[in-house]
Structure 1
Amino acid sequence: MAKLSSKTKGVFYIILAAFGFSLMSMFVKLAGDLPSFQKAFFRNFIALIFIFIMMLRDKTGFVPAKKNIPDLFGRCFFGTLGMLCNFYAIGKLNLSDANMLNKLSPFFAIIFSVLLLKERPSIVQIAGVCVAFAGSICIIKPGFDNPEVLAAVAGLLGGAGAGIAYTFVRRLGSRKEDSKRIIFWFSAFSCALCLPFMIAGYKHMSALQFIYLIFAGTFACVGQIGITRAYICAPAKEISVYDYTQVLFAAALGFFVFGDVPDVLSVIGYVLICGAGVGMFVYNKRRTA
């Protein structure tokens, strides 16, 4: 890829990340009705091994700057809660529905950047958040007659947890905290948090389920490394919109592997959320041009 422009490399890596995270979601769903804590532990343990090897190779230190520890804890704690909610949603919903609700995280990040970073949102950002949440209502379809509403709300909370976590990541990035160190401590924290709950509620796994979780962890690493490299190659304002290819990958995998067919309301929700995301991308690009 030496002859490619930085932007082209960034687009390639962010699409690779989207594909990796979609495959991670697929294997998490294929693992069946295992507890979310059990799925999350194995997913993060594999990631921990990969990132540990990378840090040794690159001679990256493991100890964060003292001033960054509170933000690193926030990233780890809320990221883990978001992941657990997302895994629960993946197990109960169509793959594309669960992934779409998780894609609300950038809009939650706008909300929490106001609360945590004291940033002032523009009218366009407020409108984008409103449109995105209207889309989420179409997917959730709230009502007592909807048996999947609890899982859909969990998916929404998963997006919220990721949004808070990304807000802390932004602040850590502005303080020059190494991205591999952030990933390492997130994976280690998640494993430590999930381990006692996994032991208490451990459910016997078949060899096939174990293999699925190994693949889930492997493709989570592909996604994490891909998105990290993407934003090294190019700024978010130029490539972030391509992250929505994950919705297409998830829809295709859901259809061909699980026979998932989203209903009309869900499709409307996808259009609203993706439309809001594309609108925000165009707005941010023009504002920083």
Structure 2
Amino acid sequence: MWKPVLMMFVAMSLIPAGDTAGKLLITTQGTSPLFVAWTRFWIGALLVLPFVPRGGFAILTDWRVILRALMLTGGICSILTALQTAPLADVFAAFFIGPSVSYLLAVVFLREPFSLVRAGLVGLGFCGMLIVVQPGGAGASEGLGWAVLAGCFYGAFLTASRWLSSQARPRALLFSQLFISAIVTTPAALFFLPAFSWPVAGLASLSAIFSMLGNFILLFAYRMAPATSLAPLIYFQLIAATGLGWFVFGTLPDQWTWIGLALILLSGVASALLAPPPGGAQRR
């Protein structure tokens, strides 16, 4: 069991590392968040291309697959826009409203079982998000609003992933979401192409590679252990983002953000631990 756990820690560190490189690219090189998202999609799609299973390209014309990819497009573009102005840890805290949104959407659209305890934990996570974002308060910012929007897109993306989990292999779905997002963002991204420089090329590559490797390792971890056992470790991204924010940008959350982070972590980990095991009476 230690191998998939170690892989999860690596994956959950690489994903915030990709966003850290993206934030550096935006804030130090003056590039557009849309350009960063576009390079991430294209580089990621090219990296995954050799691993697409036979017949995996057929799903690219499925409207459900396209809709799922558009949810990812909106999420990545929104979170990179948030990183343009907001601290890394705060962005990830607001972004983690996503699993709560996913649970609510799954109950409504996928007819998954409703639980008062799970609903209460969703409410707890929502309160944590409100503490971080402080809507209407002194700590509120447009960047954190974009982070919440990214989390909503991500929640819809997770629900769509459950919806399509039996329709295609994970590697095919991974390629489809990257390739479709790359195609969709190309027309607009061409208006924001920066002048070539090695820092821009290097940071764009690191942003894409770290993000891609994190998601790729995540797939292998889930093949080695039950998803319900590994799900709580997804919230290690919050810890990694806080550490990277301090190490790279010299920023740490304020006391209210720490409280919000704690509530989000408590809500997410407890909710994941409550999920029934595979084959149980309640199938997620």
Q: Same fold (TM over 0.5)?
A: yes
Q: CA deviation at 1:209?
A: 2.1
Ranges of 4+ aligned residues in structure 1 off by more than 4 Å? 285-289
Q: CA deviation at 1:192?
A: 1.1
Partner of 1:61: 56
Residue-by-residue CA offset, 1:202-233 (whole Å, 9 max, x unaligned)? 34353202210100100111111111112111
Q: CA deviation at 1:34?
A: 1.9
In the alignment, the residues of structure 1 paired with residue 76 and residue 36 of structure 2 have an alpha-carbon distance, to the nearest angstrom, of 10
Note the aligned Cα RMSD (angstroms): 2.0
Partner of 2:198: 207
Q: CA deviation at 1:271?
A: 0.3
CA contact (8 A) 1:30 1:212 kept: yes
In the alignment, the residues of structure 2 paired with residue 91 and residue 230 of structure 1 have an alpha-carbon distance, to the nearest angstrom, of 31
In the alignment, the residues of structure 1 paired with residue 56 and residue 256 of structure 2 have an alpha-carbon distance, to the nearest angstrom, of 48
Alignment equivalent of 2:20, drawn from 26, 41, 44:
26
CA contact (8 A) 1:16 1:222 kept: no
CA contact (8 A) 2:94 2:148 kept: yes
Q: Would you say how many aligned residue pairs link Structure 1 and Structure 2?
A: 277
CA contact (8 A) 2:25 2:31 kept: yes
Partner of 2:35: 38
In the alignment, the residues of structure 2 paired with residue 131 and residue 105 of structure 1 have an alpha-carbon distance, to the nearest angstrom, of 13
Q: CA deviation at 1:122?
A: 0.5
In the alignment, the residues of structure 2 paired with residue 115 and residue 38 of structure 1 have an alpha-carbon distance, to the nearest angstrom, of 35
Alignment pair present for 1:282 and 2:273: yes
Matched AA of 1:227: L
Aligned identity (percent) is 23
Matched AA of 1:9: K
TM-score relative to the length of structure 1: 0.90
1:277 match: secondary structure: helix
In the alignment, the residues of structure 2 paired with residue 172 and residue 137 of structure 1 have an alpha-carbon distance, to the nearest angstrom, of 31
CA contact (8 A) 1:37 1:195 kept: no
Unpaired segments ≥5 residues, structure 2: none
Alignment pair present for 1:167 and 2:159: yes
Alignment equivalent of 2:107, drawn from 105, 111, 114:
114
Alignment pair present for 1:187 and 2:181: no
2:31 match: secondary structure: coil
In the alignment, the residues of structure 2 paired with residue 71 and residue 13 of structure 1 have an alpha-carbon distance, to the nearest angstrom, of 30
Change in 2 beyond 3 A, CA 1:269/1:64:
same
Residue-by-residue CA offset, 1:166-194 (whole Å, 9 max, x unaligned)? 1111111133x111111111111111111
Change in 2 beyond 3 A, CA 1:208/1:107:
same
Alignment pair present for 1:10 and 2:4: yes
In the alignment, the residues of structure 2 paired with residue 189 and residue 286 of structure 1 have an alpha-carbon distance, to the nearest angstrom, of 33
Q: CA deviation at 1:145?
A: 4.5
Residue-by-residue CA offset, 1:242-262 (whole Å, 9 max, x unaligned)? 111111111111101100111
Alignment equivalent of 2:258, drawn from 239, 249, 267:
267
Matched AA of 1:64: I
Residue-by-residue CA offset, 1:58-101 (whole Å, 9 max, x unaligned)? 546321297xx232122101111011111111221111111222
Change in 2 beyond 3 A, CA 1:116/1:8:
same
In the alignment, the residues of structure 2 paired with residue 130 and residue 212 of structure 1 have an alpha-carbon distance, to the nearest angstrom, of 37
Alignment pair present for 1:234 and 2:229: no
2:84 match: secondary structure: helix
Matched AA of 1:26: T
Alignment pair present for 1:129 and 2:126: no
Partner of 1:94: 87
Q: CA deviation at 1:201?
A: 3.5
In the alignment, the residues of structure 1 paired with residue 174 and residue 273 of structure 2 have an alpha-carbon distance, to the nearest angstrom, of 29
In the alignment, the residues of structure 1 paired with residue 88 and residue 173 of structure 2 have an alpha-carbon distance, to the nearest angstrom, of 28
